[in-house]
C-alpha cells in the first residue's frame, strides 16, 4: 500500500471517512473527580464527547489525555491511547514515561542541560545524563493545572487549562503563563492550542506526549500499523540523541516514511540513527509547503489495517518526533492490565527541534515579553 506524498496530500480528506453517522446534538463536556495527588491537591477529569462516537478524557494533573475512544470501520469503539487506571500510577511513572501529558517548558532534549540567551548562560537540571529531557524533573506533566474555562456548542466542546511556571523553575528564566485548550469537534478533530506568555526572555517548546495504538490500548505491538511522515529531511543526532546541527535527507534511509510504511518494516535496521535510538526516536523536519497562512499543515498519518482506524496529524510546528516506545520495558501495567513493552504504542510529538536553543540555524524557540507563543496541533480521526 504505497502512495506518492503529493497523492497522499491530495486525498487526505477522501482517503478516510468519518467514523459514524452524525447524530442529533453537538459536542458536549462532562467532569468529575479523579482523586487527589500525594500532596493533597484535588484532580478533576474532563470528558469531551462528539456526535460521532468519539470521546476524549483528560485530567487537570499534567493535562494528561487518559482516554481517547474512537470507533473502527464497524463502529466498535476502543481506547487508542496508552495510560493508567489511577492517578497514583500517573504520579509514579509519568516522570519517565510521560503518557498523554503536556510537556514543557522544553519538550525534547537540551544538550548538557544548558543554553545561552542574550549572552547569559542558563543551567538546567539533568534528568537524562548528560542532557535535560522534556523540561527536566517534575515537568509540566507532573503539575496540577488550573481550569480557566469549559465550553460546548457548535464549535465543539473543550477545556482550557493553565499552568504558571515561576521564574527560575528548573533553571528556565521568566515567569511563564501557559494555556492549553483541548477542543473536540463533530468533524472528529481534536484540536490542541498551545499559548504562552513570559515576563522575561526565555525558551519554550510545548507538546503532548500521547502514545497511540490504533488497534486499541493493550492490544499488543503496533509494528503492523502503518505510518507516513510528510518530511523529506530530518535532524541527525549523536549517540545521546542530541542533534549534530545538520539537516539531512531521508532519501535511501529507514527514515524515509513519505509513503505509508509498516512501523515494524525497518524497526530493526542497522542504520546508525536507528541504533542510537534503539528504534524510531528521531525528529523530522516537516515540509513547509504543507502549511498555508499559519494554519496547521498535514504532518503525518497512521493507519491500522485491522480496525480501519486512521489518524491524520496537522500542525503549525516545524518538527515531528516519531517514537516507538523504546523505553517501555514491562515495568508499567496499563489500564487494561497488560504490561507495556516496546512498540505497544507510538508517539507523534509535534514541536520545535531538539536542542534548538543551542543551534542558531534551527527555528527559534525564544519567547520575549509582549509576544505570544501560539502553536496548534490537530488529530483527525477516520476509517478506511
CA neighbor of 257 nearest in space, from 287, 215, 289, 294: 287
Given the residues 209, 217, 359, 375, the one annotated as active site: 209
pLDDT score at 290: 60
CA distance 57 to 67: 5
Q: Which residue has the cell 490542541?
A: 192
Given the residues 169, 189, 349, 375, the one annotated as active site: 349
Evaluated on CA atoms 49, 50, 55, 61, the torsion sign reads negative
CA distance 65 to 59: 7
Cell numbers describing residue 374: 501560539
CA atoms within 13 A on the CB side of 288: 1
CA distance 109 to 161: 24
Residues making up the binding site for beta-D-galactose: 108-109, 209-211, 281
Alpha helix (H) residue ranges in 249-378: 272-277
Low-confidence spans in the chain with pLDDT less than 70: 1-25, 289-293
CA angle 349/238/356 to nearest 5° reads 50
Q: Is 349 tagged catalytic?
A: yes
348 phi/psi in degrees, rounded to 5: -125, 85
CA distance 278 to 95: 20
Cell numbers describing residue 88: 497514583
pLDDT score at 377: 98
Distance set, CA 208 to CA 33, 102, 107, 148, 194 (Å):
22, 5, 9, 19, 10
CA distance 18 to 380: 9
pLDDT score at 210: 98
Residues making up the binding site: 108-109, 209-211, 281
Strands 109-110 and 132-133: antiparallel
pLDDT score at 317: 97
Distance of CA 203 to the CA centre of its chain: 19
CA distance 291 to 331: 40
pLDDT score at 17: 61
CA torsion 234-240-246-252 (nearest 10°) is: -50
Q: Is 169 tagged catalytic?
A: no
CA distance 152 to 71: 22
What single-letter DSSP state applies at residue 128? B
pLDDT score at 288: 80
Query: What domains, with CATH codes, occur in the chain?
Result: 5-383 (2.70.98.10)
Cell numbers describing residue 359: 543551534
CA distance 100 to 141: 8
Peptide bond into 130 cis (omega under 30): yes
pLDDT score at 209: 98
Amino acid at each position: 500500500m504505497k502512495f506518492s506524498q503529493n497523492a497522499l496530500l491530495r486525498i487526505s480528506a477522501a482517503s478516510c471517512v468519518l467514523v459514524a453517522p452524525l447524530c442529533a446534538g453537538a459536542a458536549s463536556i462532562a467532569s468529575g473527580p479523579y482523586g487527589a495527588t500525594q500532596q493533597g491537591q484535588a484532580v478533576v477529569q474532563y470528558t469531551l464527547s462528539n456526535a460521532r462516537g468519539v470521546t476524549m478524557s483528560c485530567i487537570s494533573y499534567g493535562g494528561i489525555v487518559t482516554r481517547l475512544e474512537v470507533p473502527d470501520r464497524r463502529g466498535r469503539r476502543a481506547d487508542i491511547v496508552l495510560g493508567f487506571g489511577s492517578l497514583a500510577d500517573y504520579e509514579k511513572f509519568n516522570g519517565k514515561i510521560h503518557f498523554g501529558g503536556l510537556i514543557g517548558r522544553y519538550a525534547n532534549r537540551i544538550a548538557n542541560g544548558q543554553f545561552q540567551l542574550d549572552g547569559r548562560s542558563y543551567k538546567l537540571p539533568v534528568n537524562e545524563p548528560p542532557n535535560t529531557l522534556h523540561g527536566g524533573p517534575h515537568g509540566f506533566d507532573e503539575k496540577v493545572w488550573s481550569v480557566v474555562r469549559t465550553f460546548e456548542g457548535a464549535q465543539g466542546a473543550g477545556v482550557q487549562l493553565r499552568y504558571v511556571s515561576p521564574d527560575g523553575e528548573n533553571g528556565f528564566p521568566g515567569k511563564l503563563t501557559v494555556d492549553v485548550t483541548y477542543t473536540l469537534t463533530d468533524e472528529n478533530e481534536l484540536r490542541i492550542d498551545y499559548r504562552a506568555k513570559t515576563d522575561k526572555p526565555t525558551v519554550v517548546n510545548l507538546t503532548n506526549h500521547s502514545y497511540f495504538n490504533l488497534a486499541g490500548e493493550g492490544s499488543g505491538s503496533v509494528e503492523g500499523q502503518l505510518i507516513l511522515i510528510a518530511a523529506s529531511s530530518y535532524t541527525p543526532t549523536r549517540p545521546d540523541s542530541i542533534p549534530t546541527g545538520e539537516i539531512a535527507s531521508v532519501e535511501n534511509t529507514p527514515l524515509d516514511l513519505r509513503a505509508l510504511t509498516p512501523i515494524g518494516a525497518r524497526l530493526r535496521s542497522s542504520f546508525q540513527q536507528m541504533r542510537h535510538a534503539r528504534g524510531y526516536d528521531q525528529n523530522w523536519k516537516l515540509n513547509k509547503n504543507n502549511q498555508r497562512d499559519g494554519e496547521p499543515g498535514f504532518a503525518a498519518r497512521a493507519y491500522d489495517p485491522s480496525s480501519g482506524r486512521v489518524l491524520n496529524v496537522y500542525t503549525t510546528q516545524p518538527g515531528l518526533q516519531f517514537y516507538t516506545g523504546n523505553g517501555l520495558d514491562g515495568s508499567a501495567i496499563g489500564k487494561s492490565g497488560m504490561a507495556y513493552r516496546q512498540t505497544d504504542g507510538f508517539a507523534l510529538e509535534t514541536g520545535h527541534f531538539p536542542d534548538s536553543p543551542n543551534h542558531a540555524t534551527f527555528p527559534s524557540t525564544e519567547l520575549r515579553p509582549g509576544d505570544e507563543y501560539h502553536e496548534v496541533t490537530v488529530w483527525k480521526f477516520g476509517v478506511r
